Structure 1
């Protein structure tokens, strides 16, 4: 009878002997190699910082010095006497107490916030509608719209304001001439003398100058939306407004938020349009925004200390407005 051959066990002694115990020095060597591998990576992380360091130095020098000067001046009595070489006197928080107890500042501040919010939301709304229009029309019409907006956007601000002042001039302006031709008694009417019509004209000018940037930015965001997504929504029965509200707006929300933030900041700092309209016939004391109010305090009244204090308040408002978006960006990068 032939003896049965048994199968070898799953692990023979030889195989057991070949499995060596874990070397306690192995983790050390592994960590050492990891440390060695992190060295070049750390050096690669330092190199970009070194490359952008000159740019950071230029920005700090160009932007940091004026801000530091304004902060220092806001705590000083800096007037016309200092223009003749006399040293300024440190007054602490006296300038801030003066401006915050002045009712004119709160009136100008509320007027500026209302004006910038109305202009910013109107600009984004009109720019968004133009972006949707450029997405739907043909190539020729789209190119005409884009070139027209680029020409309006590239026009120098003072040159554009010269044309607008001529249009609304109360003596020989085109607006009064057209209204007179259609039967409205507008001959010699000064539209800039009343605050309501003054800010209506100013808002039209500000929106007209800002719409091209918003429209082109949002159109660039719309071109990144896949056509298959919109076609699938249309096949599911979604109407045009539903596609815009439920698909297009959520997809271009990052572009929309940064454009709206920039418009609020820019419209809060508007100066040239308001100043030139005031010079063309507006009542300055009733139409001041923060920019022209600071100019009037500094150049008009010679109180550069109070003007610097209002400038710091304006800076803090700008930082507060933009902080929410900056914090959301930091959270997205950390995630």
Structure 2
């Protein structure tokens, strides 16, 4: 007697559950890079704090005191004055005149220097390689020239008796013999602005010329094929790509020009008239020319606060570019 064989497959056994593996927290690459960046920057930060932090602290403390020659020579602690120095500055019409003059000069000089630097940078991309190299070397020499030396050269050029500028204009038929360029404030500030532009344009032109190398030629060629003129290509392609770099160099120019000191100080032989005073020279004159040390410190603190917004903007732009990269 034969028995029937069950041909049905045996039921599959359920797989045994494997124990979960412990989760390891892995730091992202960005976190590691950030930690390394802070570690490498630590020595520089400590040096900056030591060299700039303590003098800034002393200046702030001095602005709340009343330092006079008596305390300076005796070494005694100056009496506490509270916010009297700040009240004196903020209610002084001369101080606000200096602020307006400094701000106006900064706006005009930065606008002219950035436009001129961009124009030269665009020109450098159109000339031959040899001419471009000559332009860069010449501008590097101008940029490396100390500000005091450049100011003395401009002072000689605009001298009323022996200046080359007066001689050339007189030879062209204009009556500029023995003409003083600083009697009229507009002419004087034109000379100061020309000196600042002459010294600042090389940095802007070389930086923007380097930035123009990042503009893809294919985009410009495609725009030309589509019928765009050079101005349209500049506005729609070149400037948007250069925008981060333009913002950085413009902000740096604002910081540098707002702190104008050497040019107008040297051109006026260390005694700038009230109409040629900027915040930097006004603070120095009050502190060391009139022995109002606390008042000069208060003006310096106000100047730092005015520039703080610009510096914060500059740092934010640097971080934004770092995030994009």
The question of a shared fold, defined as TM-score above 0.5 by the shorter chain, is answered with yes
Match of 1:250 among 240, 253, 258: 240
What's the offset of the Cα at 1:162? 1.5
CA gap 1:22/1:188 in 2 versus in 1, 3 angstroms? same
The CA distance in 1 between the partners of 2:220 and 2:28, in whole Å, is: 48
The CA distance in 1 between the partners of 2:120 and 2:321, in whole Å, is: 30
Matching of residues 15-54 of structure 1 within 5 Å: 16-18=13-15, 20-21=16-17, 23=19, 26=20, 29-31=21-23, 34-35=24-25, 37-38=26-27, 46-54=35-43
What's the offset of the Cα at 1:163? 1.1
The CA distance in 2 between the partners of 1:122 and 1:144, in whole Å, is: 23
Question: Could you tell me whether the CA contact under 8 Å between 1:193 and 1:283 is conserved in 2?
Answer: no
Q: How many residues align?
A: 318
Aligned to 2:286: 297
CA gap 1:248/1:298 in 2 versus in 1, 3 angstroms? same
Aligned to 2:111: 121
Deviations 1:172-229 (A, max 9, x none): 1111111211221111111112211111100000011000000000000001111111
Aligned to 1:221: 211
Question: Could you tell me whether the CA contact under 8 Å between 2:212 and 2:238 is conserved in 1?
Answer: yes
Query: Once superposed, what is the RMSD of the aligned Cα atoms?
Result: 2.5
TM-score w.r.t. length of structure 2: 0.90
TM-score w.r.t. length of structure 1: 0.88
CA gap 1:245/1:83 in 2 versus in 1, 3 angstroms? same
5+ residue gaps in structure 2?
Answer: 1-6
Question: Could you tell me whether the CA contact under 8 Å between 2:110 and 2:254 is conserved in 1?
Answer: yes
Aligned to 2:299: 310
Aligned to 1:3: none
CA gap 1:42/1:215 in 2 versus in 1, 3 angstroms? closer
5+ residue gaps in structure 1?
Answer: 1-5
2:269 paired with 1:279:
yes
> Mean alpha-carbon deviation: is it higher for 174-183 or for 116-125?
174-183
CA gap 1:331/1:7 in 2 versus in 1, 3 angstroms? farther
